[in-house]
Amino acid sequence: MLHSIQPGKHGPFGEPMTHAVQACVHCGFCLSVCPTYAELGQEMDSPRGRIVLMKQALEGTLAWDAAQLHIDRCLGCLACEPACPSGVSYHDLISPFRALAGSKFKRSATDKLRHWLASQTIPYPSRFRLALHAAGLGRAVRPLVPAALQSMLDLAPPSVPPAQTWPAITPARGERRARVALLIGCAQQVLDPDINTATIEVLVRNGVEVLVPSAQCCCGGLAWHSGDLAAAQSFARRNLAAFPIDVDAIITNAAGCGSAMREYHLMLRGTSDEARADVFRKRVVDVALFLARLGLRESPTGPGRPQRIAYHDACHLANAQNVRREPRDLLRAIPGVELCELTDAHLCCGSAGSYNLDQPKIAAALGEKKARAVLATGAEVLATGNIGCLTQLRTHFAKLGSNLPVRHTIQVLRDAYNPRAKQG
Ligand code: SF4
Ligand code: SF4
């Protein structure tokens, strides 16, 4: 019997999902780049296998929860998109499918508790800071913590930096070349607030006025990628209201946040906010891309000696936003820098939002593999563009007994402007 997806049956997501499913010709070129296929070696844990599972669930020939294990294991890293010769738009499929599956997948009580804890803490900086302190205490009584929640203890760094705030407006230094609004991120401003400080410093030094809208909130990415559509839409609407649109760009410095904001039109598809979201998302630009396009007005002086820097492509920067060359160009603009490329650079580090909470074994295997690939380069510093990757790789370097510094690209650039200053 021939089955087909009925686009209308799946609400506003029916059409993009149908389009993505129909574009797949099952050639299998995507298998070799998929981290979960590399780890688990099963067709159902590959992009092609997952597309078949989603197609069957959407057609009604497979129970939704029969697809759950393999859909849950997908990192959402989108390495499969650039590898696909047929142009399958996997991002139009995976997050909408998870949104539709939210009520259909069966979750254990501990899974629900873990999701609830993550959704009620990570997007809210003051709660997240408290949760990290609590996790630090929890490590001391680890045997008393339920096994299903222990992955949350491992996420917490050994220390949490003091809270920081940033001015509502920081004027450009010298003649103004552009005016932007900055997303300061929720987890990032807690885990490594210096990234925002460095972003503002580099932008103003290069003639950019930076606004930090006070009413902004979490980008909604965590909710969107875990299938909580209502929460994702609520965050998206708050940011649509909070950010001015009469700026040259809405700047993000966390790849996951940038790619989520660039999907606001999909999150709000079929609602009265869809058109506004489509205008908004086109203004969202990663800081590395923005600076590379603008051009550095002031050249960094560098550390004053040769320095080997390894660069890790955050999946949501390289695959979701096609930003690969620009961060490398910025790093190469620093005198003395030699850039090191990683073996298997296309493989995700396993961070992927809340993935290292939900799938700790696969996340740990990928994290260790990436950390070893970085160490093999002999680099003195690792640069990357996403707080999730920074945190994941700091954890795995520490596990391997390495204290290799892990910095955001913009921090490396800021330090190269101030080679003698001690940075946070
Ligand atoms: S490479 Fe593209 S067309 Fe080929 S199996 Fe993968 S998703 Fe389908
Ligand atoms: S998003 Fe990543 S993990 Fe998921 S199917 Fe594509 S390559 Fe594999």
pLDDT band at 388 (very low <50, low <70, confident <90, very high): very high
- Cα dihedral 143/144/149/154 (nearest 10): -50
Residue 88 lies in a domain: yes
17, 24, 43: residue to mutate for ligand 1 pocket, most atoms within 8 A of CB = 24
% residues pLDDT > 70 (the chain): 96
Same domain flag for 336 and 269: no
pLDDT, residue 8, reads: 66
- Does position 153 have pLDDT exceeding 70, yes or no? yes
Asked if 372 and 404 sit in the same domain, the reply is yes
Question: So what's the pLDDT on residue 10?
Answer: 79
279 and 198 within one domain: yes
Q: Three-state SS for 40?
A: helix
Q: How far is the CA of 219 from the centre of ligand 2 (A)?
A: 22
285 and 304 belong to one structural domain: no
Contact 76 CB / ligand 2 (< 6 Å): yes
CATH number at residue 12: 1.10.1060.10
Whether 340 has a pLDDT exceeding 60, the answer reads yes
Does 213 share its domain with 283? yes
Residue 380's pLDDT band (boundaries 50, 70, 90)? very high
Query: 206 with 132, same domain?
Result: no
Q: How far is the CA of 69 from the centre of ligand 2 (A)?
A: 14
pLDDT at 1: 40
CB 261 within 8 A of CB 240: no
pLDDT band at 421 (very low <50, low <70, confident <90, very high): low
Is residue 422 one of the residues assigned to a domain?
no
**Which is the closest atom of ligand 1 to the Cα of 90?**
7
Give the residue numbers spanning the domain of 15. 7-101
pLDDT at 422 over 60: no
- For residues 289 and 304, state if they share a domain: no
Q: Are residue 60 and residue 115 in the same domain, yes or no?
A: no
Q: Please report the pLDDT score of residue 358 as a whole number.
A: 85
Q: For ligand 2, is residue 24 a contact (CB within 6 Å)? A: no
The three-class DSSP label of residue 52 is: helix
Q: How many domains does the chain have?
A: 4
Pick the atom of ligand 1 nearest to 46's CA: 6
- pTM beyond 0.85: yes
Q: Of 133-147, 281-295, 359-373, where does mean pLDDT reach its minimum?
A: 133-147
In this structure, the residues whose C-beta lies within 6 A of any atom of ligand 1 are 24-30, 47-48, 51, 80, 83-84, 86, 88
Using a 6 Å cutoff on CB, does residue 78 contact ligand 2? Answer: yes
Same domain, 287 and 311: no
- Domain assignment of residue 34, yes or no: yes
Q: Which three-class secondary structure state does DSSP give residue 340? A: strand
Chain center to CA of 322: 13
- 137 within a domain of the structure (yes/no): yes
Asked whether the predicted pLDDT for residue 112 surpasses 50, the reply is yes
The closest-lying atom of ligand 2 relative to the alpha carbon of residue 33 is 7
| Ligand 2 centroid to residue 36 C-alpha, Å | 7
CATH of the domain at 338: 3.40.50.11810
Are both 175 and 287 inside the same structural domain?
A: yes
Token representation of residue 230: 């209502």
DSSP string computed for 201-225: HHHHHTTEEEE--TT----SHHHHH
**pLDDT tens string 182-208:** 999 999 999 999 999 999 999 999 999
For residue 176, count other CB atoms closer than 10 A to its CB: 12
Q: Are residues 74 and 181 located together in one domain of the fold?
A: no
pLDDT > 90: what percent of the chain?
78
For residue 293, the model assigns a pLDDT of 96
Is residue 2 in a domain? no
Domain annotation covers residue 164: no
Which of 90-94, 105-109, 262-266, 378-382 has the lowest average pLDDT? 105-109
pLDDT, greater one: 248 or 109: 248
Kindly state whether residues 242 and 341 are assigned to the same domain.
no
pLDDT at 3 > cutoff 70: no
